[in-house]
Amino acid sequence: MEKAKISVIQLFAMMFLFELGSALVVSYGVTAKKDAWLAILLGMCGGIALFFIYYALFRQYRNLPLTGYARKIFGKYVGWIIGLLYVVYFLYSAARNLRDFGDLLLSSTMPKTPLLALNILLVLSICYVLYLGIEVLGRTAEVFIVILIFLGLIGNLFVYFSGNIKLHNLQPFLENGWKPIVTTAFPLITFFPFGQMITFTMLLPYLNRPELAKKVSLSAVILSGLVLSYTISLNIAVLGIETVERSTFPLLSTIGKVNLFEFIQRLDSIVVFTFLITMFFKTSISLYCAVIGIVDLFKLKNHQQIVLPMGVILLFLSMAIASDFSEHIEEGLDIIMYPLHVPFMVVIPLLMLLVALIRNGFKKKGRSKSNET
């Protein structure tokens, strides 16, 4: 494990940027139609419930990452295998994020650029930052969260001043009842992106003030949930639900409608740059967790020696997971939802927590009896 510490603000910045990720620009939660904003808020509540499982594990083993306390809970061999499975899971998540990044740039601004070339550029920049360590990634997040907030304010002001917002597009409330809202919130939105907080079980031991871990994490989850809920509401208010459902990247279309004084227009670059920031950090954090998982499991001296090899694996995995973007989206929504996310986000963490509580309970009883004698 890297000997480093990150501050509360740095952890918040990384969590916030991670949670936004690709969810900020895709047609997120639209299976709930006009009530997508409510489905996101409900899904956020489900994500908070999952986070409390991860936080309870962190409280039991404050100095260990997930791969470390898996071995403590399940034993040396079974725990090692579970840790390795989580490393593969983090690497697969990073590959999906990298593919999202490349496909958006291809479809929005660089249609004639090879996907491999775009992904290579992002992987090289990620590997460089990760080689320097988690502290550098944290300080970078501190800078870029300010830039992201600035871009968000500018983009929103232009959308408001352009007069394209039609609030009646959000009405009527509960037009199709609660069923589509609940089925969208659970499990889709609960798992993506809120359940992906499982990744930070690898990073929480780096926090210099572990007593603030719960406050920081909940703040990041709630704020990112509110931003995502607001963003999909803005998209529906500007474009209408029919257009948002058809659009792959509705935020691009929303910003694309801005036309002030026949002069301020074609502001797609704001969305693309925003997406570049969030996806850089989401992919970096997922890859870093896979790297330090390997370091922990194989007892390597430092993480730097495997950053580039893991980056190469990430690059080729991102190209191999799907033949095109539609297949990539279908895989994410339909194929991997239950067989992959449910075990790694819910079943294994719950099982680990139960075993840890039982074991630690017996240890406390044993200590109290020995003290009495």
Domains of the chain: 8-363 (1.20.1740.10)
pLDDT (tens digit per residue) in 188-199: 899 988 999 999
Alpha-carbon distance 191 to 337, whole Å?
8
Q: Which amino acid is at 227?
A: V
| Closest residue by Cα to residue 56 from 220, 222, 213, 225 | 213
pLDDT of residue 371: 60
Residue 368 has pLDDT above 70, yes or no: no
Residue 285 contacts residue 203 (beta carbons within 8 Å): yes
Residue 157 has pLDDT above 60, yes or no: yes
Check residues 248 and 320 and name the one with the higher pLDDT.
320
Mark residue 209 as left, alpha or beta (left: phi above 0; alpha: psi -120 to 50; beta: remaining).
beta
Q: Which residues of 131-145 are buried (b: 16+ CB within 10 A; e: fewer)?
A: eebbeebbbbbeebb
pLDDT of residue 142: 96
Local confidence band at 349 (pLDDT 50, 70, 90 cut-offs): very high
For the segment 265-269, the average pLDDT, to the nearest whole number, is: 80
pLDDT of residue 242: 93
Q: What does the chain come to in residues?
A: 373
Answering whether pTM is above 0.85, one says yes
Alpha-carbon distance 41 to 257, whole Å?
27
